[in-house]
Amino acid sequence: MSREKLGMPLNRVYETNREAVLQYIHSHNPVSQKDIANTVGLKQPTVSKIVRELINANIIEKKVLAEEKRSKGRPPEYLKITSKLLALAIRVARNKIISAYVDIDGNVYERTDHPLPSQRGANELINLLEKIIKNHQDEFSGQQGTLIGFGMAVPGPVNLKKGKIAKVTGRSDWSGLNLTKLENITELPFLIRHDAAAAAIGENLFGTTKGSSNNIFIAAGRGVGAGIITNGELVQGSQGYSGEFGHMSIEANGVECPCGNRGCIESYASINSLLRNLKGKLEESKSSYPFDELTFDSVVKQVKDSKEVNEAVKEAGYYLGVGIANLVNLFGPEIIVLGDEMVKLGDIWVDKVKKVIKERSLTQYCESLNIITSDLNDNFFLKGAGALAVEKFLRNSKVWLKNE
């Protein structure tokens, strides 16, 4: 990698090489120094120097594989990222805040759920987040590891230039909320993204789409969003608003959405729209409902036993599938990940979504498309929030190196 070829000063070329080495080690944990040189395309002396720096900074460590210990002679040493590098991950949902530590491999530790009553407004939300972050900073011990940064996933698009949440359906009091105050609490990197975008980064770094350069994470819950990875990079747009998939119109003169538009996917394929549609079906058929209250949890329990529930769930899956098919035709992804609460509806919903995607996507995209579901727990949002800080660290490890 030459200075002339990249048009960079020599020190920046070296930093780029170091980032490439660190990212390769993370992706192929554990790996030999020889493999790094051969694959990344660097000379052995350069790799050796970078490795020494990273070891001295406690970013990577040497490891002897168990099977190698039994062989004769000196066993070869492999390199791996130390598991003691931790990010504080925060997921802001409409009804709670979740905090946890996420390590460099995406493992979640010390998860805590903080209830968030619906009457709490924007100021109360900021105050609670500030308290949570400060408490974690104050209580973090060096014995736990090294804190490398903070990542936060929020239920609405974020203007990355201004640090503001653009709009949160169902929590209009949060729209326009300025989050930059939180960045001043710490000197460590503090990154904020829409939860669907964070989840897409998390899956790409730690999970089901690792190794894929073109994939889409669909978050279908109280709201509907998408995190789109193209050529290995998150699609963000000029302001950071990209991924507002839930507010694409699929019915020209459809239901009015709280966003002000009509016919939005979110008005047909979210939990709220599912409950509204089901309520109408029950009233029309004059059928009884076996629970005192019509809630999403009760719908999950009735999805196989009630004709009306089954129909409403399939309709929600149909509309989501139509919307996703448009994304498939636009971006040609290798993998679609279905995530968030709607996945709890099971095969009836998932199969309908998949069927419609395959029916409405162009054949050339559909033939190689893999459609999968995320874990049923909501840790993928936490992992995504943590991944924001981990990815930043992997791309900018310079600040952690000693004597630099």
Number of domains in the chain: 3
Among the candidates 49, 81, 113, a domain finishes at 81
Degrees to nearest 5, angle at CA 333 with 329 and 339: 105
Which of 138-152, 192-206, 222-236, 347-361 is predicted with the least confidence, judged by mean pLDDT?
138-152
Pick from 349, 366, 354: nearest CA to 322: 354
- Please tell me the predicted confidence (pLDDT) of residue 11: 73
Question: Are 199 and 97 members of one domain?
Answer: yes
> Which residues, other chains included, contact 38 with Cβ-Cβ below 8 Å and sequence gap of 6+?
none
Degrees to nearest 5, angle at CA 237 with 27 and 89: 50
Question: Are 203 and 301 members of one domain?
Answer: no
Q: Is the pLDDT of residue 1 over 70?
A: no
Question: Are 266 and 369 members of one domain?
Answer: yes
Q: Is the pLDDT of residue 183 over 70?
A: yes
- Please tell me the predicted confidence (pLDDT) of residue 195: 92
User: Do 121 and 173 contact (CB within 8 A), yes or no?
Assistant: yes
Domain CATH for 11: 1.10.10.10
**Mean pLDDT, rounded, for 284-308:** 89
Instruction: Please report which confidence band the pLDDT of residue 289 belongs to, taking 50, 70 and 90 as the band edges.
Output: confident
- Please tell me the predicted confidence (pLDDT) of residue 8: 64
> Tens of pLDDT along 312-335?
999 999 999 999 999 999 999 999
| Structure tokens, 236 | 């963000």
Question: Are 89 and 230 members of one domain?
Answer: no
- Please tell me the predicted confidence (pLDDT) of residue 89: 96
The sign one gets for the Cα dihedral 50, 56, 61, 63 is positive
Q: Is the pLDDT of residue 231 over 90?
A: yes
Distance between CA atoms of residues 135 and 58, nearest Å: 25
Please name the amino acid found at residue 383. Answer: K
- Please tell me the predicted confidence (pLDDT) of residue 4: 38
* Secondary structure of 334-368 as H, E, C letters: CEEEEECHHHHHCHHHHHHHHHHHHHHCCHHHHCC
**Mean pLDDT, rounded, for 177-188:** 87
262 - beta bridge partners? Answer: 256
- Please tell me the predicted confidence (pLDDT) of residue 384: 94
Instruction: Please report which confidence band the pLDDT of residue 375 belongs to, taking 50, 70 and 90 as the band edges.
Output: confident
- Please tell me the predicted confidence (pLDDT) of residue 72: 61
Q: Is the pLDDT of residue 378 over 80?
A: no
Q: Is the pLDDT of residue 143 over 80?
A: no
- Please tell me the predicted confidence (pLDDT) of residue 246: 93
Please name the amino acid found at residue 334. Answer: E
Please name the amino acid found at residue 277. Answer: N
Q: Is the pLDDT of residue 404 over 50?
A: no
Among the candidates 54, 81, 108, a domain finishes at 81
| Structure tokens, 146 | 């090294």
Question: Are 17 and 142 members of one domain?
Answer: no
Average pLDDT of the chain, as a whole number: 88
> Tens of pLDDT along 98-131?
999 999 989 999 999 998 877 677 888 899 999 9
87 - beta bridge partners? Answer: 102, 149
Higher pLDDT, 269 or 288: 269
Range(s) of the domain holding residue 126: 85-208+381-400
Instruction: Please report which confidence band the pLDDT of residue 2 belongs to, taking 50, 70 and 90 as the band edges.
Output: very low
Q: Is the pLDDT of residue 201 over 80?
A: yes
Question: Are 39 and 95 members of one domain?
Answer: no
Q: Is the pLDDT of residue 91 over 80?
A: yes
Distance of CA 135 to the CA centre of its chain: 24
**Mean pLDDT, rounded, for 191-217:** 93
- Please tell me the predicted confidence (pLDDT) of residue 67: 59
Q: What SS3 class is residue 332?
A: coil
Question: Are 359 and 237 members of one domain?
Answer: yes
- Please tell me the predicted confidence (pLDDT) of residue 65: 67
Question: Are 222 and 367 members of one domain?
Answer: yes
> Tens of pLDDT along 26-81?
988 889 999 999 999 899 999 999 999 999 888 998 887 655 555 565 667 899 98
Cα dihedral 351/201/168/376 (nearest 10): 40
Domain CATH for 238: 3.30.420.40
Question: Are 103 and 90 members of one domain?
Answer: yes
**Mean pLDDT, rounded, for 264-280:** 96
Higher pLDDT, 11 or 251: 251
The total number of residues shown for the chain amounts to 404
Instruction: Please report which confidence band the pLDDT of residue 171 belongs to, taking 50, 70 and 90 as the band edges.
Output: confident
Question: Are 277 and 349 members of one domain?
Answer: yes
Which of 174-183, 317-326, 381-390 is predicted with the least confidence, judged by mean pLDDT?
174-183
Distance between CA atoms of residues 208 and 213, nearest Å: 12
Longest dimension (CA), the chain: 79
Question: Are 77 and 89 members of one domain?
Answer: no
Question: Are 228 and 367 members of one domain?
Answer: yes
- Please tell me the predicted confidence (pLDDT) of residue 66: 58
Among the candidates 50, 81, 112, a domain finishes at 81
335 - beta bridge partners? Answer: 215, 370
